[in-house]
Structure 1
Amino acid sequence: MGFIRVGGLRIAYERAGQGPPLVLVHGAAEDCRVWRPQLAGLAEELTVVAWDEPGAGRSSDLPVGFGLAGFADGLAALIEALGLGPAHVAGRSWGGTVALELYRRRPELVATLVLVDTYAGWKGSLPAAEVRARVAGARRMLAAPPVELGLAFPGLFAGDPPAELVPLLADIAADVRPATLAQQLEIMAEADLADLLPRIDVPTLLIWGRLDARSPLGVARRFEAAIPDATLVVVEGTGHMSNLERPEPVNDAVRGFCRTHPPGAKR
């Protein structure tokens, strides 16, 4: 575990392995531990760095008014501080939206994108009625007596979480900060990065669970159609957390993609 400081914020990260850099960006109500199978499985040939975003894990609380640009700028600062750019940048769910905003703001730091079960913001990916329903449901959940927030969202897995993952998920959920989650949900509801997709000029790997009920496969198909150089890998028998539910095919896809598109390679 390491730390950097950016504008008064402490940002924590885990680092493993050697080789071309792969930066992992977790989803909402998560921290870097959600990438544990990738930190372990990809370190033989990649330098794998997974951050705790501001407001999560061992990083500082979010400042008031912190927005999507703040998350992207913090991620850029991490990549620069560790000398990783241009890097493969992988984001799952909310983390994919952060990765897209990083690409919008600092494309020179991004060699490729790996987008896992994600969105171009909720506004940019889901029907308006679905966005309203999600926001209303999240507000009810956050106003209720304390719950394990990371486990409260339906459709995270194809069925029940695999038994071997339950302790990890419970540990992550116990550390979720309601104020962070509330701020992220408001950001996601208003974020619309759909206009960015046709302008992505780096190879992009899309990894989606076949049974993802949070970001349905139709979202992936629209990403595939919009991004000029996109490859879609559908992981069978998985929901929204494909990287945890079936890490082997996810790791194989990421490993092969990174081999094919080394940072700095001419296109």
Structure 2
Amino acid sequence: MEFIEAGELRIAYERSGQGPPLVLVHGAADDGRVWEPQRAGLAEEFTVVAWDEPGAGRSSDLPKGFGLAGYADALATLLEALGLGPAHVAGVSWGGTVALELYRRRPELVATLIMIDAYAGWKGSLPADEVRARVAGARTMLAAPRAEFDPTFPGLFAGDPPAELVPLLADIAADVRPATLAQQLSIMAEADLTDLLPHIAVPTLLIWGRLDARSPLAVARQFEEAIPDATLVVIEDAGHLSNLERPDQVNAAVREFCRAHPPSSPEG
């Protein structure tokens, strides 16, 4: 684990491998450990960087009033500090929303976008009644006493989580900070980045679990229709965290896509 300072933030990240940069952006109630299968499977060919976003993992707590722009700016600071741009930027779930906002604000840092079971914000991707239901569920979750707090969202996997992942998922869940999750979900509920999608000018890979109940395949179809250069890969028998549930298929799709779209040099 390494760290950079970004203003008042201390951002943790793990870096492995050599080759074109591939930056991994995790979802809400997660940290960089959710990308372990990608770090293990792709580091032979890429410089793989998985951060703990502000407020998660070993990174510092969120500043007061931190918003989506703050996440994107912190990610941009990490890319610049490590000299990684332009990079392949992959986001899963909420991490896809952060990746989109990074592209909106700093497109020169993004060589390609890889959206895995993602959203253009909940407001941008889900019906209004579903957003209201999720907000209500989040309030109930966050109101629980700390000893009973369980940040595990329903529908993350097509069925039960793979047995080998249960210890990892438990460790990640134990480190979730309720204050961070409350702020993230508030941001997510109000975020709508659909206006950005037709203006994305980099190749974009969409990887979706066919059985994703949280960001249904219909959301992927909306991305595919709106983004000019989008490729959709559907992962069978996978739910919302397809990168964990079917890592070999996800890694193969990422590898093929990134090989086909190598980043240019910053000067070029």
TM-score class, shorter: over 0.9
User: Match of 2:150?
Assistant: 149
User: Match of 2:12?
Assistant: 12
Paired letter, 1:71: Y
User: Match of 2:262?
Assistant: 262
Equivalent position SS for 1:206: strand
Number of residues paired by the alignment? 264
1:211-237 C-alpha deviation (Å, 9 max, x unpaired) = 000000000000000000000000000
Equivalent position SS for 1:239: coil
**In structure 2, what is the Cα distance between the partners aligned to 1:149 and 1:161?**
16
TM-score by length of 1: 0.98
**In structure 2, what is the Cα distance between the partners aligned to 1:111 and 1:150?**
33
Runs of at least 4 residues off by over 2 Å: 145-151
Structure 2 residue 36 is matched with structure 1 residue 36: yes
5 Å matches for 1:142-181?
142-146=142-146, 147=148, 149-151=150-152, 153-181=153-181
Unaligned runs of 5+ in 2: none
Equivalent position SS for 1:12: strand
User: Match of 1:252?
Assistant: 252
State whether residues 148 and 170 of structure 1, in contact with CA within 8 Å, keep that contact through their aligned partners in structure 2. Answer: no
State whether residues 30 and 150 of structure 1, in contact with CA within 8 Å, keep that contact through their aligned partners in structure 2. Answer: no
TM-score by length of 2: 0.97
Counting aligned pairs with the same residue, the percent is 83
User: Match of 1:104?
Assistant: 104
Paired letter, 1:87: A
Paired letter, 1:224: E
State whether residues 141 and 149 of structure 2, in contact with CA within 8 Å, keep that contact through their aligned partners in structure 1. Answer: no
Q: CA deviation at 1:145?
A: 2.5
RMSD of aligned alpha carbons? 0.8
5 Å matches for 1:1-267?
1-146=1-146, 147=148, 149-151=150-152, 153-264=153-264
Paired letter, 1:204: T
Paired letter, 2:262: P
Q: CA deviation at 1:149?
A: 3.2
Q: CA deviation at 1:70?
A: 0.2
**In structure 1, what is the Cα distance between the partners aligned to 2:201 and 2:39?**
27
Unaligned runs of 5+ in 1: none
State whether residues 17 and 46 of structure 1, in contact with CA within 8 Å, keep that contact through their aligned partners in structure 2. Answer: yes
Q: CA deviation at 1:155?
A: 0.4
Paired letter, 2:49: V
